[in-house]
């Protein structure tokens, strides 16, 4: 005979170490950034998590490079590098400038 385990509801789950401190929770709540700030942070972290974009960011900390130089350094096509640069620029990690 198979018996199913009863899953307790949230209100039934207790902790012997339960120590709700409304002041402590309130202090954290008051300093908590907005949802928009966390969404922006997540976008930035996702942009940086790509190995190609991490390499681009590193390369640009050493010396300013143009798309063709990055393309050669990373052994990628210029359109592919431009795509990554666009993402880094959209997230605010880079500021592009055109030199004529």
Give the start-to-end residue ranges of the domains of the chain: 33-93
pLDDT of residue 97: 79
Both tokens of 52, joined, read: 């190609």
pLDDT of residue 8: 52
Q: What average pLDDT values come out for the chain (100 residues) when binned by 10 residues?
A: 55 59 86 94 93 97 95 97 95 84
Q: pTM higher than 0.75, yes or no?
A: no
Check if the beta carbon of residue 96 is closer than 8 Å to that of residue 66: no
Radius of gyration of the chain (CA): 24
Query: In whole angstroms, how far apart are CA 27 and each of 8, 23, 33?
Result: 31, 6, 12
Nearest to 90 by CA among 44, 42, 34: 44
- For the domain with range 33-93, which CATH number is right: 1.10.3720.10, 1.10.10.10, 2.60.40.10, 3.30.590.10? 1.10.10.10
């Amino acid at each position: 005979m198979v018996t199913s385990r009863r899953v307790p509801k949230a209100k039934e789950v207790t902790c012997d170490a339960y120590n709700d401190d409304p002041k402590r929770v309130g202090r954290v709540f008051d300093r908590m950034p907005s949802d928009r700030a966390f969404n922006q942070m997540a976008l930035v972290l996702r942009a940086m998590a790509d190995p190609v974009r991490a390499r681009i960011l590193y390369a640009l900390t050493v010396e300013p490079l143009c798309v063709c130089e990055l393309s050669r350094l990373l052994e990628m096509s210029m359109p592919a590098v431009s795509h990554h640069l666009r993402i880094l620029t959209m997230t605010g990690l880079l500021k592009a400038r055109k030199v004529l």
